[in-house]
Structure 1
Amino acid sequence: MKINLLTIGTRGDVQPFIALGKELSRRGHHVTICTEGSFKDLAEKNKLSFSPIRTDYTHLTQSEEGKSMLTGNPLSIVSQMKTVIYPMMEQMLDDIWTASIDADAIIYHPKVFGGYDIAEALHIPAFIAHPVPIIAPTRHFTNPVFPFAMQSGTLNRASFKINRLLTAAFFPLINKWRHETLSLPDKRSVFKDDSVLNGKHIPVLYGCSPSIIPFDQQWKGHVSMQGFWFLAEDDWTPPPELLHFLEAGPPPFTVSFSSMPLRNPDHTLNMLQQAFKETGQRAILLTGWSGIKQTTDSPHIYTAGSIPHGWIFPRSRAVIHHGGAGTTAAALKAGKPMVICPFSGDQPFWARKMRDIGVAAAPLKERDMTIAAFVSRINELISNNTYFQRASEAASLIDKEDGVRHTADFIEEKLEEKNPAK
């Protein structure tokens, strides 16, 4: 079966889809991943066909507009997206239609506006997929797009309605495309539930662990959440300098802000250097897109643009990170305690959740970062063995799961229901 995976965004939005696509390909399906061109090598390295979407999130996140969006609240983001991303979305809609016109089924990230419409136009099965439990309403927790948690089950469930509002700014573009390209008569609107197609709920695929996030029994039958979607990174070869650093002392902290641009990277680097010096800890700093330079004079800190989390986290003492879903999952899998510095999006959700399950010190937002704050949290982790114990327990639970395999089972079951063998 020809299955197209549609996703855009940062590596955290793409890598889990590649892991899922790799499993589906192993089962004999012809899988094409449609995403930003910078992920072509990663997709083809994992034996997937690739079709580019003309978006450039790397460039966008480094622009002033992109930095403002990444650190803003959801409503301000929508306001800026309308002017900054609108042209990109026009290209994206054209690209995903061209790539998917002969697909037998599609699996799409909600950021890929148009996945719903393509499934409707082609009359093919569709799945909505996300590494964060952000789609199906539940009373168990607040929609992760909110920077705070509500205590009411009713309000929690209602909070998921904001998803439609966040898409509403693009309905004029989508409806124009629906009419002119897909020849669909009805229009999308904020009053139409886009999790329902032809009167039935679109199956939802969550790439996260039911050991960490509670599975709502009301989801049973139309939501799959059976574990994180990890992509094996066994073939990565570390540079000699990194191996020498690791061998020269005790396990270091690993620090990563990933795709989050810091307001003052030099100041943050100085704070981290001073904090690790005062606490007597070593550190590996992954600069990513944070703006921090890749060189430092400190003999106790090794800097690199990136290192696969699956390789470095198990060799770390603890992890300080931004709270992205993929980074959080990798730290959990490695059994490492954390300090989460949430910026935007679902990051406050993961920061709260990690604190609640006892694997993380109190969150530290960028505006609250000081040398003293870093020192306090580093000392809290290394002096309290409970964090390490809870992290080890979480890793043991996750190790028993096989999210990619079970999600692929769910997909094939649903496809069989749609197209039973004759």
Structure 2
Amino acid sequence: MRVVFLTLGSRGDVQPYVALAKELIKTGHESIICTGATFKNFVQENGVEFYKAESDLMAILESDEGREIFNGGRYNIFKMLKYAKEVINPAYRKSMDDFFAASKGCNLIIYHPKALGAVDIAEYLNIPCICMPPVPIIYPVTEFPNLAISPSKNFGPFINKLTYKVNSFGEASYMKYINDFRSKSLHLKNRKAGELLFQVNGKDIPVVYPISPFLFKEVKSWKDRVLISGFFFLDIGESRIDENLYEFLENGKKPIVVSFSSMPLKKPMVFKEKLIRALKETNNRAIVLIGSSGMRFENQENIFEVEKVPHRLIFSKAKGIIHHGGIGTTAEALLSGVPQLIIPFTVDQPFWAHRLFSKGYSVGTLKEKNLESFDLIKAFKDMENKEYIRNAKEIKNIIESEKGLENAVRYIEKVYKSF
């Protein structure tokens, strides 16, 4: 079986697909990933075939223009719309042709909802496809609303399920490009937005969520339409931390690890001062993964700054973890068995912040704009609370036992054989 993965977005939108592609290769199948050029080395270093998609959302977000338009600099909706019309939308259209080229000769498509045209390609090639969003946002359930509508409220079964109707409109602004692709590249007739959301060629589209079933054990309305596989953890091989960081870890008590990954703080210097104050007040050390946060910590006693490092190498060595609540970082924090504090920014992050705190697997959820030093001081003290430490160890053992990649591979093989 040759499987093509079609995905666009940030590291969190690509890494789960890389992990699953590697697992499929391990079990004797072939895999190819079509995504933005930013991730070419990442994909290939993990032994997976790469095909470039024109739309590189990560490169856009990391560009000077992208940061100004999308990362809260001088927020201007008209600039965003103009940039989308002139840059993003044409790249999306070209990416559909890239997805099509990458899919030829494949037996099954696994796609991110951002990968426009994926289901249309499956329709044309008459091969099975599986929708695999990193977060539980596609299939309507009664237990909680669409996280795009509310990350924390419960409107009751009927309204909760109704909120997922917005998914049908997700394609609406791109239908001009999708139908152009269907007409010119696939020679198929035009379709309406949302028409292929759950079915293609008269068959149900399976949905896989690479998340922990334990965190959603109360959800029954996914029934047999959705596989909740367990988190996908990428094998980091023989990666090691550098000597200076190792020395810092060894020569002192366990630090607080801070990582906001690609999320930029709105006021990095303000947050930095509050963090320093809270660390001094509680006599704690810290490792800060700078990422795109905008913070720098030159010559700060008891604070070690590093651009980036695999979370698995340092999270488990921490006293506590502060992070943004992106699903990949959240999964690694849960796997570490260490108490965590989530400061969410956008998209699905408030959803994970709320869910983990409500279940006792984080010490709290704070927002950058109204966070004070005393909030961090309280969080650092809570990280020493025996209940939070016990809960962190409990969820670690559960997450380890779920075997998400193995479950997903078995399911994919079953979908292919029964098609």
**Corresponding position of 1:239:** 242
Alignment-derived partner of residue 53 in structure 1? 53
| Aligned residue in 1 for 2:407 | 406
Following superposition of structure 1 onto structure 2, how do residues 169-318 of structure 1 map, counting pairs within 5 Å? Answer: 169-190=173-194, 192-214=195-217, 216-293=219-296, 295-318=297-320
The question of 1:40 aligning with 2:45 is answered no
C-alpha separation in 1, matches of 2:156 and 2:293: 36
Say if 1:146 and 1:345, in contact at 8 Å, map to a contact too: no
Deviates more, 1:369-378 or 1:342-351: 369-378
Q: Distance in 1 between matches of 2:68 and 2:375?
A: 24
Distance 1:171 1:369 in 2: 41
| Counterpart Cα distance in 1 of 2:387 and 2:361 | 8
Q: Render the CA deviation track for 1:373-421: whole Å, top value 9, x for unaligned.
A: 2222222322x22111111111111111100001110010110101xxx
| Structure 1 residues 331-370: Cα deviation after superposition (integer angstroms, max 9, x where no partner) | 1111121111111100010000110110212311121122
Quick one: structure 1 residues 85 and 147, their matched pair in 2 at CA, closer, same or farther if it must change by over 3 Å? Answer: farther
CA change 1:48–1:103 in 2 (3 A) is same
Q: 1:68 to 1:161 in 2, by over 3 A?
A: farther
Query: Contact 1:254–1:284 at 8 Å: present in 2 too?
Result: yes
| Cα distance change, pair 237–25 in 1 and its aligned pair in 2 (3 A) | same
What TM-score, normalized by structure 1, do the two folds share? Answer: 0.92
Flag the 1:161–1:186 CA change in 2: closer, same or farther, 3 A.
same
- Output the CA distance in 1 between the equivalents of 2:222 and 2:361: 27
Q: Secondary structure at the match of 1:277?
A: helix
Contact 2:36–2:58 (CA<8 Å) still a contact in 1? no
Is the 1:131–1:207 Cα contact (8 Å) retained in structure 2? yes
User: Is the Cα–Cα contact under 8 Å of residues 230 and 402 in structure 2 kept in the other structure?
Assistant: yes
Corresponding residue for residue 395 of structure 2: 394
RMSD of aligned residue pairs (Cα, Å):
2.2
1:146 aligns with 2:149: yes
The percentage of counterpart residues that share the same residue type is 36
After superposition, the Cα gap between the structure-2 partners of 1:216 and 1:359, relative to the gap in structure 1 and judged at 3 Å, is closer
Q: Name 1:137's counterpart in structure 2.
A: 140
CA distance in 1, matches of 2:415, 2:104: 21
The 3 A distance-change label for structure 1 pair 120 and 81 is farther
Amino acid paired to 2:408: T
**Cα distance in structure 2, aligned partners of 1:163 and 1:77:** 25
Contact kept, 8 Å, 1:16 with 1:230, in 2: the verdict is: yes
Q: Which amino acid aligns with 1:417?
A: S
Deviation at 1:76, TM superposition (A): 10
User: CA contact under 8 A between 2:111 and 2:130: conserved in structure 1?
Assistant: yes
Q: Map 1:356-395; keep pairs closer than 5 Å.
A: 356-382=358-384, 384-395=385-396
- TM-score norm. by structure 2 comes to 0.93
Aligned to 1:21: 21
Conservation of the 8 A alpha-carbon contact between 2:119 and 2:196:
no
Is the CA contact 2:18–2:234 (under 8 Å) kept in the aligned structure 1? yes
Q: Structure 1: state its 5+ residue gaps.
A: none
Q: Is the 8 A contact 2:143 2:154 kept in 1?
A: no
Deviations 1:258-284 (A, max 9, x none): 111111222222221222111111111
How far apart are the structure 1 equivalents of 2:285 and 2:392? Answer: 20
Partner of 2:331: 329
2:105 is the alignment partner of 1:109: no
1:21-100 equivalences in 2 (<5 Å): 21-62=21-62, 63=64, 65-66=66-67, 69=70, 82-83=84-85, 85-100=88-103
Are 2:320 and 1:340 equivalent residues in the alignment?
no
Kindly indicate whether the alpha-carbon contact (under 8 Å) linking 1:61 and 1:261 is maintained by their aligned counterparts in 2: no
Name the SS of the counterpart of 1:271 in structure 2.
helix
Given that residues 7 and 14 in structure 1 are in contact (C-alpha distance below 8 angstroms), is that contact kept between their aligned partners in structure 2? yes
Is the alpha carbon distance of 1:58 and 1:140 closer, same or farther for their aligned partners in structure 2, counting shifts above 3 Å? Answer: same
How many angstroms apart in 1 are the aligned matches of 2:309 and 2:169?
37
Give 5+ residue unaligned stretches, structure 2. Answer: none
Equivalent pairs, count: 414
Contact 2:8 2:56 in 1 (8 A): no
Distance between the aligned counterparts of 1:193 and 1:120, measured in 2? Answer: 9
2:133 aligned partner, one-letter code: H
Shift of 1:66: 4.9
